[in-house]
Amino acid sequence: MKVMVEMTVNGEEVSELIEPRMSLVDFVRDRLRLTGSHIGCEMGVCGACLVMVDDKPVHGCLVLAVQAAGSTVRTIEGLAESGEIADLQTAFHARNALQCGYCTPGMLMTAHRLLLDQPNPDREAIRTALSGNYCRCTGYEAIVDAITAAASARAERRAE
């Protein structure tokens, strides 16, 4: 049995007939071909599948697509295309916070949400926010440095 699911993804209305057990991350990757959200642990531990549902970060592997019906979903592609995370992307690149890149979309989504909620977080707040994202390559220092730099640059722009 399949069910119809309708939602807004990155500003576009989508409607698809799917299996009720399809996860949200599988839906955006397989059905919508938005492959920026990665599939890592499929247990909500690594954060590679992070997406925003109604502006709240969720692990896409733990949410069924049918649970997001009627919601507004934003993926890393939507944030990147809007330009909202350009400064974070630049800071990650400048500080080599990318490494293999597998966790990067989830890290950027988390950092984006953090900076909306706390425009000037300290390093401890950044680490706490990142606690739901797992990185095997960087040791997190470069990621924390990049987020700190982006926050500082945003603060300077606000002060102008």
- The residues spanned by each domain of the chain are 3-79, 83-159
- The answer to whether residue 131 scores a pLDDT higher than 80 is yes
| Residue % of the chain over a pLDDT of 90 | 86
Number of other residues whose CB lies within 10 A of the CB of residue 34? 19
- The answer to whether residue 31 scores a pLDDT higher than 90 is yes
Banded model confidence at residue 99, pLDDT cuts 50, 70, 90: confident
- The answer to whether residue 138 scores a pLDDT higher than 80 is no
Class for the domain spanning 83-159: mainly alpha
What CATH superfamily classification does 3-79 receive? Answer: Beta-grasp domain (3.10.20.30)
Mean pLDDT of the chain: 94
Q: What is the pTM of this model?
A: 0.91
Task: Give me the pLDDT at residue 7, please.
Answer: 98
**What value, to the nearest 5°, has the Cα angle with vertex 47 and ends 66 and 51?**
45
DSSP string, 30-73: IIT--TTS--S-SSSSS-TTEEEETTEEEETTTSBGGGGTTSEE
Render pLDDT for 53-71 as a digit per residue (tens, 0 to 9).
Answer: 999 999 999 999 999 999 9
- The tokens describing 137, both together, are 């390559």
